[in-house]
Amino acid sequence: MADVAVELVLRSTRVITPGGTRAASVAVAAGKITAVLAHDAEVPAGARLEDFGDDVLLPGLVDTHVHVNDPGRTEWEGFWTATRAAAAGGITTILDMPLNSLPPTTTVDHLRIKQDVARAKAHVDVGFWGGALPDNVKDLRPLHDAGVYGFKCFLSPSGVEEFPQLDQERLATSLAEITGFGGLLIVHAEDPHHLESAPQNPGPKYADFLASRPRDAENTAIQNLIDQARRLNARVHVLHLSSSDALPLIAAAKAEGVRITVESCPHFLTLTAEEVPDGATEFKCCPPIREAANQDLLWDALADGTIDCVVSDHSPSTADLKTGDFATAWGGISSLQLGLPAIWTEARRRGRTLEDVVRWMSAAPAALAGLDAKGAIEAGRDADFAVLAPDETFTVDPAELHHRNQVTAYAGKTLYGVVKSTWLRGTRIADHGTPTEPTGRLLERQN
């Protein structure tokens, strides 16, 4: 990089680096960070200075759990709208989930269809997860070679018929195949038998919905997954953990050396069952938002590393599908644009720092997917940044959200943390909440 002229210098009194927060000037050339310099470093001739004063410069967030649904269910969401929401929210990389689009990302041909659709619409960098289905074991290796970051499976019904779940036997088969080529399996971990035997009382009461998705369903599925991962020495990741009862199982597995990582989501960490009004189906997701005491334990687990990352599970649908009662409404919460301020608001209330938030929402998800160019402000990484005014507040107005259907469980909430701008490879991709041109690239797994 030494012979590439510095084009841009980003300066702030608070730059969050892997070594801590400090006043610094970050030099950028050809879309990469070339150096993190002293705050008062001389700006090289020909370079442009962007001085953010006391606003915080953090690495662009990496959201490894996004349902873009494009092509096929583009009335739910699409690459244009989802990546604009991401850019406005300080996210510079997303990984798209393999289901809810038509086709799902379960063969190389399907992956190419999705990449063709995404290419011209991506305002942030976009990579893809593949899907592990009962009948596509032969497609897993080709998908891995084609550059997906790992494979998602369900252990209970996914909500769409083209993406069936794996039973324990097929889970073992797929996991053995994936482990054979050094891949990663990411798992929606709810046990179908526990869901079937839970009380089903459809209607507007949130308590009834919560009882229909009991903690035991998560706990059992996670225990089974740990057992399979141990037996095969496989690498697995638990998606959207909600049940705090599973934390001791996970902590013990990690201590024992089982290769397991875990994510949770802004809605589990900032919203509580107690506050969901009856009939408020915009709060429906699976697994469900649980009680405040459960949430406290999830925060403890973030602090001690039992939970590795926080990602959105942005999973929209059309507004009409989000209505009705809790049994029939689509399960999914849209938070691409709001995840950073939602988590920061709760983190600061609980005495956590922005450095913690960066670890959970940028460094750890980048590490999960092996995105070596992302997730930190240091020389050699992509020049991806978010500029945040952490002490400014705003009130969530659904009309200001860029995702396609402006349904949100956060409407009317006042949150700390205003994203002033977002930068991708040295180009400003959002300015005060307004996305600019699509300059995102399609990413493929490299190693």
Binding track, positions 129-168, relative to Zn ion; x by CB under 5 A = ----------------------------------------
Paired tokens of 20: 């801590």
Where are the extended beta strands (E) located within 200-338?
235-238, 260-264, 309-310
- C-alpha separations of 177 from 33, 163, 182, 231, 380 in Å: 38, 19, 9, 14, 34
Smallest distance, Zn ion to C-beta of residue 67, A:
6
| Residue 288 vs 433, nearer CB to Zn ion | 288
Smallest distance, Zn ion to C-beta of residue 152, A:
8
User: How many chain residues interact with Zn ion (CB under 5 A)?
Assistant: 1
Smallest distance, Zn ion to C-beta of residue 135, A:
21
Binding range to Zn ion, per CB under 5 A, among 20-28, 71-79, 258-266, 313-321: 313-321
| Residue 189 vs 443, nearer CB to Zn ion | 189
| Residue 316 vs 438, nearer CB to Zn ion | 316
Find the binder of Zn ion among 313, 356, 382, 384 (CB under 5 A). 313
Paired tokens of 286: 């699976």
Bridge-based pairing state of the strands 427-431 and 434-435: antiparallel
Smallest distance, Zn ion to C-beta of residue 21, A:
32
| Residue 265 vs 418, nearer CB to Zn ion | 265
Binding range to Zn ion, per CB under 5 A, among 31-39, 194-202, 254-262, 305-313: 305-313
Where are the extended beta strands (E) located within 348-401?
385-395
Q: Which residues make Cβ contacts (< 8 Å) with residue 19, sequence separation at least 6?
A: none
Paired tokens of 172: 């073992």
| Residue 177 vs 313, nearer CB to Zn ion | 313
Residue least distant from Zn ion (Cβ) = 313
Binding track, positions 94-133, relative to Zn ion; x by CB under 5 A = ----------------------------------------
Burial of 155 from C-beta contacts in 10 A (0-12 / 13-18 / 19+): buried
Smallest distance, Zn ion to C-beta of residue 50, A:
35
- The residues in 355-384 that bind Zn ion, with binding defined as CB under 5 A, are none
Paired tokens of 101: 């689009």
Paired tokens of 232: 């095969």
| Residue 313 vs 356, nearer CB to Zn ion | 313
Looking at residue 101, its amino acid is S
Q: Which residues make Cβ contacts (< 8 Å) with residue 374, sequence separation at least 6?
A: 59, 60, 62, 92, 93, 125, 362, 366, 381, 382, 384
Under rule CB under 5 A, residue 77 binds Zn ion: no
Binding range to Zn ion, per CB under 5 A, among 129-137, 161-169, 229-237, 310-318: 310-318
Binding track, positions 263-302, relative to Zn ion; x by CB under 5 A = ----------------------------------------
Binding range to Zn ion, per CB under 5 A, among 112-120, 309-317, 334-342, 414-422: 309-317
Residue in the block written with tokens 């583009």: 74
CA 64/CA 314 separation, integer angstroms: 10
Smallest distance, Zn ion to C-beta of residue 65, A:
6
Binding range to Zn ion, per CB under 5 A, among 114-122, 307-315, 407-415, 417-425: 307-315
| Residue 95 vs 377, nearer CB to Zn ion | 95
Which DSSP category does 312 fall into?
-
CA 179/CA 123 separation, integer angstroms: 33
Binding range to Zn ion, per CB under 5 A, among 5-13, 285-293, 306-314, 353-361: 306-314
Where are the extended beta strands (E) located within 122-161?
125-128, 130-131, 151-154
| Residue 63 vs 313, nearer CB to Zn ion | 313
Binding range to Zn ion, per CB under 5 A, among 248-256, 312-320, 403-411, 433-441: 312-320
| Residue 308 vs 313, nearer CB to Zn ion | 313
Burial of 19 from C-beta contacts in 10 A (0-12 / 13-18 / 19+): exposed
Buried b (16+ CB within 10 A) or exposed e, 316-354: bbeeebbeebbeebbbbbbbbbbbbbbbbbbbbeeebeb
| Residue 146 vs 311, nearer CB to Zn ion | 311
Paired tokens of 305: 């590393």
Chain positions contacting Zn ion, by CB under 5 A: 313
